[in-house]
A and B are shown apart, each in its own frame.
Chain A
Amino acid sequence: MEYQTKSSAEMNGMCNSKLVTEYLCHNGFSELSIESKKLPVQDQSESSRKKAEDESRLPALEAAYTTILRGLGENTERQGLLRTPLRAAKAMQFLTKGYHETIYDILNDAIFDEDHDEMVIVKDIDMFSLCEHHLVPFFGKVHIGYLPSKKVVGLSKLARIVEIYSRRLQVQERLTKQIAMAISEALQPAGVAVVIEAAHMCMVMRGVQKMNSRTVTSAMLGVFREDPKTREEFLSLVKTS
């Protein structure tokens, strides 16, 4: 917890510390891995431990999926459904693999000191997540921009941050905020902006059934929040022509 409170004090009023700990607590998923600093060797055993953990949980997931199929009135013995519980369980584990990964693991090496203080934008990052209310996918694009303060991050790491937080049971608002916070914490930039535009299958496939609806959320931190011109520059650069 020390790691989190120290960095929250450095936030320069971007948010209060309560928000930081709330948003960084892995959606309530209680893994301790973010608090321990690990050596690369330990990393390997960590990931294989998690893989073994995944496999040990598979039978319970399979049984649950079999129950679901039967409850829907399907015949679980027919050819097309024979291995579906296993496949569906593995698919679900893949779609929630973000719980196993930590920002610290992926960012550790790729922060560089560059004398750059202009906006850096990575846009149109495809994002796939699961709605935590209906367990149905939502997907779209993430646009990230930040104004570095002498420290830049490897570009693919922005996409990896998106992956970590999106491969979970999510709410789009929280996802946007988590991505913005993670970048803030790692780089201490002058400002971070994240915009997500997504289609929610829970609205498209069921419920109101509005095919073309899109949900747009954004998180602006630091100078992006305070200075409207910076924000405008970012928004015009990510606008798809």
Chain B
Amino acid sequence: MERAKLRQGEQEDAAAAAAAAVAGGEQHSLNGHCEGGRSKVARCRESPGEASGSGARTPGQSGHSSSVMESWKEERTRSVEDNEMSLPSIAAAYTTILRGLGEDPQRQGLLKTPWRAATAMQFFTKGYQEKIIDVLNDAIFDEDHDEMVIVKDIDMFSMCEHHLVPIFGRVHIGYLPNKRVLGLSKLARIVEIYSRRLQVQERLTKQIAVAITEALQPAGVGVVIEATHMCMVMRGVQKMNSKTVTSTMLGVFREDPKTRDEFLTLIRS
């Protein structure tokens, strides 16, 4: 029952997303990689009641903005050539930063630092270069399996979009397949694509869950992320041992407490 509802909800959202995409021209707004105008990503984080005209929203999926959905198919907004072209300006910016901090960019240890730091930053945001659909396209298999599948302790490294400081932790993903299963490493690749960006942990969790939902139409998806934010550990409040835990439960994981319980118990052990 719930599976049918989920699928129907997705179809509605997909239709709405397609309509919105057509209406909005080239706007793909996830993480702000937006070719024009006002970013729609703010609505990802607003409550469902506030965002108007963003597309149909089914009762079973509260807080599910269509801008999150439509971006699943069209993600890549940066290419390797873009990287090469923007490297000099990013490196120049880092030289300015070194000077602004009072360091001497000509000393031996810092001579090539602007280039290294620029390349490193491009690596930390390489999720913008990849599309989910490229990663997943081949690895969806029809299996007559309808028990929970969990991949846990996936190391995750991201960048805090507010301070440009690393976030790292672990991701646990579980889903209840509906005759279609995914190659296991593809779950880790989905995590990589979304985490190697300027992120907010809540959004990251949701994006991973939505991507799996869209790709497989499973009965349910659960994603739990437990991470340490260097912006809290190295600066600001400086709480060494604090961890932030976020989760997204979709489909039967949201509706059935026993399923959710089983998932949470299995990832804890």
Do chains A and B interact in one complex? yes
Residues in A lying within 8 Å of B, measured CB to CB: 27-31, 57, 60-61, 63-65, 67-75, 77-81, 83-84, 87-89, 91-96, 99, 126, 128, 132-137, 139, 169, 171, 201-202, 204-206, 211
Instruction: Give the chain A neighbours of B117 by CB distance below 8 A.
Output: 134-136
Q: Give bound CA distance, A91 to B160, whole Å.
A: 12
User: Is A92 touching B90 in the complex (CB atoms < 8 A)?
Assistant: no
User: Is A137 touching B32 in the complex (CB atoms < 8 A)?
Assistant: no
Per-position contact with A for B85-97: 1 when CB-CB < 8 Å, else 0? 0110110111011
17 other contacts beyond A72-B121, A75-B34, A95-B234, with CB at 8 A cut-off?
A28-B107, A64-B97, A67-B93, A72-B128, A78-B32, A80-B41, A84-B163, A84-B198, A91-B235, A95-B235, A132-B113, A133-B112, A135-B116, A136-B117, A139-B234, A201-B168, A205-B166
Instruction: Give the chain B neighbours of A169 by CB distance below 8 A.
Output: 98, 101, 103, 109-110, 113
User: Is B233 touching A91 in the complex (CB atoms < 8 A)?
Assistant: no
User: Is B116 touching A68 in the complex (CB atoms < 8 A)?
Assistant: no
User: Is B102 touching A99 in the complex (CB atoms < 8 A)?
Assistant: yes
Instruction: Give the chain B neighbours of A69 by CB distance below 8 A.
Output: 198
Q: Give bound CA distance, A30 to B99, whole Å.
A: 12
Give the bracket for the number of chain B residues in contact with chain A.
35 or more
A136's partner among B97, B120, B128 (CB-CB below 8 A) is B120
- Judge if B50 is at the interface, Cβ distance under 8 Å: no
User: Is B162 touching A64 in the complex (CB atoms < 8 A)?
Assistant: no
User: Is B90 touching A68 in the complex (CB atoms < 8 A)?
Assistant: yes
A134's partner among B107, B120, B165, B200 (CB-CB below 8 A) is B120
- Judge if B161 is at the interface, Cβ distance under 8 Å: yes
User: Is B161 touching A80 in the complex (CB atoms < 8 A)?
Assistant: yes
Per-position contact with A for B101-130: 1 when CB-CB < 8 Å, else 0? 111100101101100111011111100100
**B100 CB, nearest partner CB in chain A, Å:** 4
User: Is A71 touching B240 in the complex (CB atoms < 8 A)?
Assistant: no
A74's partner among B42, B110, B198 (CB-CB below 8 A) is B198
Closest 5 A/B residue pairs (Cβ): A78-B32, A71-B86, A75-B32, A78-B39, A64-B93
Specify the chain B residue showing the minimal Cβ separation from A91: B163
Specify the chain B residue showing the minimal Cβ separation from A168: B103
Instruction: Give the chain A neighbours of B112 by CB distance below 8 A.
Output: 133
Residue among A28, A80, A95 with most chain B CB within 10 A: A80
User: Is B94 touching A68 in the complex (CB atoms < 8 A)?
Assistant: yes
